Structure 1
């Protein structure tokens, strides 16, 4: 048995079949169910979902204060007042800045942009930046992707006589800033969708200002929306769907250059943005000023764009190196004894721009919320980022101890913060208290949401293409995860370091490959013809023009007992089958410790007081089959490791026939006496027997009292009592030992497995018919 590393949560659908798919919707029953899981119960809804339509977007006028803000901007343009677009340094902020800047320039505005430096200014508006803007002649500041928490900065703007328009999407805190206008979907009760990304809000404002739908800006909307991990449903789905099409056919020099650096060809997908484009744009703001990323998206010169894209690519490589270094240091600080407490790692000199990524990696490794902070000795503060597990709402719970922070903001699963160094222990104490009160042991285990269970024979290229129609995938529209159970025909380790796993499944005429990246270490835990349950995402593997369906593993489990057959392998690496956290037992014929840290007994110590175990390691053969059967029935192992070997095999030594016994006895009757010391070798040559065989025959005769043996001389007993060979204990022991070796050692894998099944009345495995006497 092999436990899954995550909790598998199957999507529970009502057994009632809803027949709503009409002739205009040609998808498989599997995809029909996926649509039902997304709350789509009517054909018209399905059509809108599968073919996102720009006409289904909400009108910008539904956003509170957007009309007031628009009039102020038009006034500023008319009067040639200087407008400052104040953005953020992540991909959402950069794309938001680009969208609004392009719209304002199109309207002829006197405008510029400002993105704060993450290291010297931190997130969002700050007083010094506002005062600098005032000195540079700004009359109107428009924030994008930030500002909803900037209460003090709004007062500064008012004091300086600058109007402030806030466009944001982050969580609203206790007090809304006193700005000229606040455009925020969560502050707009009449607006139909509250989950826009920052760039989505900026796009709506741009549409309102331009007076038409600016489709040429959709590519930037797709970048910010995907990179910011907002729910890809409703408006976000529509904007992203069409934005990805725009990215595919883009003429923007910056995006073309970035696609070139990422080796993106053909249709651009949400994965291209999420894993290639977004991280590169983010990298600039993580290591230096994000202005470079805005310049890339704003430039109209392809040569300049290529140069900037190359610089950004180099910055991203440096970012990856820095992240890896900090992760190694942070892991050394993690307290692994407290499996439930929040992780807090802090150190002077850490680059605060990448701490969110580091926190994410810690969460994935330890399944606990993590806060990673850079220590600022000059201000006696710590500053950094936090990431969480699904069951723990970071924003909500940190807001209950808001007084501990100098600055704080974010979402349920991600947050940024600054706080006095002296408050760090108090923060850990308070969050651990909340965690203890709110979460159960199960909450700390990763969860995989499984869309459906399917069979290997169900999987084909058409199904995978149908599933692709549900894209773009993301938050609240996750890529479907499928579960299947099948015995792989072949399992191999692949990769230069053998750290990946490749499984080959076949059902009827359908072949399916399963690829498990990073699963290579599980290779020794597979046994022949064993059912394996896997969960993962379906896709197409294309190589040299050949297209094959595949499933990319996220997790796997083996739910039936397993036999690990290492018989005769004296140098077998037992450690690869061992987990010292499990309840294991070794049985051996001696008391010498075989494997440190694992309970060990001899066959003489078998008793009803033995506990049930996860794995039973059999390192020596028993004296009898009943001994081993009793041990198995008492301990009820989930796994059996057969690691014994045989020296001086009885089974491989030919067992004397009755004719052999007759020949020797006839010789004894004729000779009356034989001196084995002088005649043993001669008899061996005559019959071609081994010395051991002759000695065995002699001992059987002696036990049956047919002969006497003194000083190596065998003498026939006159008129012995008639007895059958089967009455000899020596004869029976040898015969039984040969049979025991045949069953437990010389049998094939399937035969040995069947023998153990006969012992296991506690498992659900079907009882198989005994074969060959097993």
Structure 2
């Protein structure tokens, strides 16, 4: 048995729908299965999804307040009023700011921009920066990707005499800011048909309205902000991201060329993963560690050298950010090390003085990944007496709404169901932890605290090819609400397996299903090589990729998880050195079983785990999943009883024996006859004195003569007198098989043949047949 790391939730699409989509759309079955599992049951719906067009773009004037925004901006331009674009310090805010600044500049506006400093101003509107803007002659503030929760700062700006337009997409609170105009896709009274725009998407719609045409030149900026902000990649967002990715692949943007350069990416290969895992973290890094303005400058500049210098700066900041994240994550886990995931709090709330607030969201994500609990990570500022940080959640725990229940102790917060940011007095941290854990008791069930992986597509291996994997690009981009598929291959064998990597911590396998073979790679899963027994049927989940080497393309599975419910037999027979096989066996849940007391003595110096004599385990059940059979039983039935009393999930067969009866063999009847004839002629024979000479003369081993002598003694054919074998008189006719030694040798040879020297397949079959019959009463059985 191999337990999966997560609970698998497999979606099995309707095969009739799959076949219909496969035929009507002329797509590989893999693609058809993904579409069917995502709810596409009609050809026309699937076609529309596969061939998304500009029809997905909605009229920007469907936003309540858009006409008023256009009028106010043109009024400002005509009156030469200074306009400030007020952005945010993440990738969504940086790209939003860029679009708004470029749009206003194209209209001839007098425009500046400001982005709050995470450490000085915190998230959202800042009275300090609004005062600065006023002092610099700003008459109109336009927020992008923030503002919906900035009630007091916006009131402050209004009191100074400035007009404020809020463009945002974050979750609105019960009360809205007293801005002159609010452009938001998801307000309660909104008539805009697509509520899932990122902040950059809202800025793009404002640009569309102001420029009176679709600003296609901004597609790449929309794609970056939308992907990085993890909003829904459906509907309008899907079209915008598709167009933006195409634009980046053929870009003349010096910013994208510079980002691709420092990320080691070919422009033609840019996709949503490039943006999400390479560009996004670098753009975010500057705002996490200090001023985010260099991110905006990168997208505003048209100088290639300046762009490359800024991109290199972003890259260095990202490396610095990675080191800080590791340190804080380690310290956060130290605070939680007393708790296991099942015993610890339902909601994690950790904090410490000196933790950088700019990376706490990343740390929270890592804690959620490890413990699968909602997590809040806070940096403590004792001088200001505040805790500031970020939250990440799991399905079933709406972080924004749960925080909203605690506004009396968390005065400043904002975010989404799965993520939030907050600032609260230090003395309220313990109270917040207690309250959230109480709230979790009603909103989270035990099942919801078990990590689940949703699997779109169970595949047969003959459905996987380089062509079918290539065709999956038609379904891209993948992201929120249309996640990259997780594939499942069930009940396949492993035809070859080996550890790879300098630390031998990775895994390379070849999977087999009927006559079809598939390469598989498991990064960080090298230990599985010691947990997979031959012929075991395994199920895998993971991602499908194409491996290209020396011009040859092959499909391969990138393993995420693996499991089997089968019991497993591991063959460690014949490996005399204990240290060679002991390291392969789990320390926990393993018992070492001996059938002979001498074996306990033999292994006691090399095995520090508790050794059991078999009789102990036949008298009472034991909590163990794995068993090492150290030696051979005296009879087959003893082992059968053990197997029927304990349902071990893994059996390691060592079957040590000091002397092998099987290879020694039984002397033939001709050998017995020849030796008996010799004794008859001699009447007496000094075996000990002459056995070497006799062995040399016949070519038989000395053990053979010793064994035959013992058989003759047990049959009363000879007696021992002063060390001499003496032939008895008046011998009764007896068969050799009547001698106990002869019987035991026959029985031991048969047992060795079945257990010690049988091929692996035959040994596995022997266990299979005997494990199938349960003789212990059900109430006494221990099922591990």
**Range of TM-score over shorter length:** over 0.9
> Paired residue for 1:248?
249
Structure 2 CA distance for partners of 1:39 and 1:192, relative to 1, 3 Å? farther
Deviation of the 1:711 alpha carbon: 2.7
Partner deviation per Cα, 1:383-402 (whole Å, 9 max, x = no partner): 11121222322222222223
For the residue of structure 2 that corresponds to 1:315, the secondary structure is helix
Deviation of the 1:19 alpha carbon: 7.6
For the residue of structure 2 that corresponds to 1:726, the secondary structure is helix
Does residue 502 of structure 2 align to residue 496 of structure 1? yes
> Paired residue for 2:731?
720
> Paired residue for 1:657?
668
Distance 1:678 1:511 in 2: 64
- Of 706, 711, 725, the residue aligned with 2:717 is 706
Distance 2:475 2:773 in 1: 44
> Paired residue for 1:634?
645
Alignment TM-score, normalising by the size of structure 1: 0.94
- Of 368, 371, 386, the residue aligned with 2:373 is 368
Partner deviation per Cα, 1:184-231 (whole Å, 9 max, x = no partner): 101153111111111001100111111110000110000000000111
RMSD: 2.1
Distance 1:589 1:86 in 2: 81
Distance 1:343 1:122 in 2: 22
For the residue of structure 2 that corresponds to 1:142, the secondary structure is strand
For the residue of structure 1 that corresponds to 2:192, the secondary structure is coil
Structure 2 CA distance for partners of 1:70 and 1:586, relative to 1, 3 Å? farther
> Paired residue for 1:182?
182
> Paired residue for 1:767?
none
Does residue 671 of structure 2 align to residue 666 of structure 1? no
Structure 2 CA distance for partners of 1:534 and 1:594, relative to 1, 3 Å? farther
Q: Retained in 2: the 8 A contact 1:367–1:446? A: yes
Partner deviation per Cα, 1:422-444 (whole Å, 9 max, x = no partner): 22222222222223333333323
Structure 2 CA distance for partners of 1:319 and 1:335, relative to 1, 3 Å? same
> Paired residue for 1:589?
596
For the residue of structure 2 that corresponds to 1:469, the secondary structure is helix
Q: Where do 1:370-385 residues align within 5 Å?
A: 370-385=375-390
| Greater shift in the superposed pair: 654-663 or 122-131 | 654-663
| Greater shift in the superposed pair: 358-367 or 9-18 | 9-18
Deviation of the 1:329 alpha carbon: 2.0
| Greater shift in the superposed pair: 100-109 or 596-605 | 596-605
> Paired residue for 1:267?
269
Q: Retained in 2: the 8 A contact 1:586–1:598? A: no
Distance 1:574 1:406 in 2: 57
Alignment TM-score, normalising by the size of structure 2: 0.93
Does residue 482 of structure 2 align to residue 472 of structure 1? no
Distance 1:227 1:586 in 2: 56
Q: Where do 1:534-683 residues align within 5 Å?
A: 534-569=540-575, 570=577, 571-578=579-586, 580=588, 582=589, 586-587=593-594, 589-590=596-597, 600-607=611-618, 609-611=620-622, 613-683=624-694
Distance 1:448 1:687 in 2: 70
> Paired residue for 2:152?
152
Distance 1:595 1:2 in 2: 27
Distance 1:638 1:23 in 2: 44
Does residue 101 of structure 2 align to residue 101 of structure 1? yes
Deviation of the 1:665 alpha carbon: 1.5
Structure 2 CA distance for partners of 1:579 and 1:149, relative to 1, 3 Å? farther
Partner deviation per Cα, 1:233-267 (whole Å, 9 max, x = no partner): 11111110101111112212122211111122113
For the residue of structure 2 that corresponds to 1:417, the secondary structure is strand
Deviation of the 1:608 alpha carbon: 5.7
Distance 2:708 2:463 in 1: 64
Deviation of the 1:613 alpha carbon: 4.3
Structure 2 CA distance for partners of 1:596 and 1:110, relative to 1, 3 Å? farther
Deviation of the 1:519 alpha carbon: 1.2
> Paired residue for 1:532?
538
Partner deviation per Cα, 1:588-646 (whole Å, 9 max, x = no partner): 53456689896642123242632574222212221111111110111021211113322
> Paired residue for 2:235?
234
| Greater shift in the superposed pair: 416-425 or 237-246 | 416-425
Structure 2 CA distance for partners of 1:720 and 1:489, relative to 1, 3 Å? same
> Paired residue for 1:520?
526
* Runs of 5+ unmatched residues, structure 2: 775-784
Q: Retained in 2: the 8 A contact 1:669–1:716? A: yes
Deviation of the 1:96 alpha carbon: 0.5
- Of 278, 281, 296, the residue aligned with 1:279 is 281
Distance 1:597 1:449 in 2: 42
Deviation of the 1:40 alpha carbon: 2.7
| Greater shift in the superposed pair: 498-507 or 632-641 | 498-507
Distance 2:106 2:355 in 1: 41
> Paired residue for 2:416?
411
Distance 1:533 1:497 in 2: 26
* Runs of 5+ unmatched residues, structure 1: 764-774
Distance 1:594 1:610 in 2: 26
Q: Retained in 2: the 8 A contact 1:31–1:466? A: yes
> Paired residue for 2:777?
none
Deviation of the 1:23 alpha carbon: 7.9
Does residue 137 of structure 2 align to residue 132 of structure 1? no
Q: Retained in 2: the 8 A contact 1:245–1:267? A: no
For the residue of structure 1 that corresponds to 2:695, the secondary structure is helix
Q: Retained in 2: the 8 A contact 1:355–1:373? A: yes
- Of 282, 291, 303, the residue aligned with 1:301 is 303
For the residue of structure 2 that corresponds to 1:309, the secondary structure is helix
Distance 1:385 1:584 in 2: 46
Distance 2:711 2:368 in 1: 70
Structure 2 CA distance for partners of 1:515 and 1:647, relative to 1, 3 Å? same
Structure 2 CA distance for partners of 1:456 and 1:66, relative to 1, 3 Å? same
